[in-house]
Amino acid sequence: DGGITQSPKYLFRKEGQNVTLSCEQNLNHDAMYWYRQDPGQGLRLIYYSQIVNDFQKGDIAEGYSVSREKKESFPLTVTSAQKNPTAFYLCASSMAGGGRTEAFFGQGTRLTVV
């Protein structure tokens, strides 16, 4: 089945530690995205990538880093510089360009700082 997979579903991090969230897709999509959801704030864009080896900052990139070494994979690292990392993180992918920009989402990773 084609889809987008995030792992793990739940993640606990101690303060001061970096942690990496995995996102893999087999939809052959060029574009991939990371969003963060907080209560009452909707989905806010962290980073996005339109093509392998290229990515751009979204609205709230501070304290996060990404890589796009393969078309299928777009891991997100939450660094110790992120002041309030506890949130629900969503990865998405879409076809780039073409005007039809429906994005498909993974099931999310809930990160909790303990």
Partner 1 sequence: DQQVKQNSPSLSVQEGRISILNCDYTNSMFDYFLWYKKYPAEGPTFLISISSIKDKNEDGRFTVFLNKSAKHLSLHIVPSQPGDSAVYFCAASDKGGNTGKLIFGQGTTLQVKP
Contact indicator for 63, 81 with CB cutoff of 8 Å: yes
Site string for partner 1, 41-60 (x = CB under 8 A): xxxxx--x-x-------x--
Site for partner 1, residues 94 to 113, rule: CB under 8 A: 94-108, 110
Alpha carbons within 13 A on the beta-carbon side of 9: 1
> Please, what is the minimum distance in Å from the beta carbon of residue 20 to partner 1?
19
Q: What is the 3-state secondary structure of 50-81?
A: EECCEEEECCCCCCEEECCCECCECCEEECCC
**Interface characters, 1-40, with partner 1 (x: CB under 8 A):** ---x-x------------------------x-x-x----x
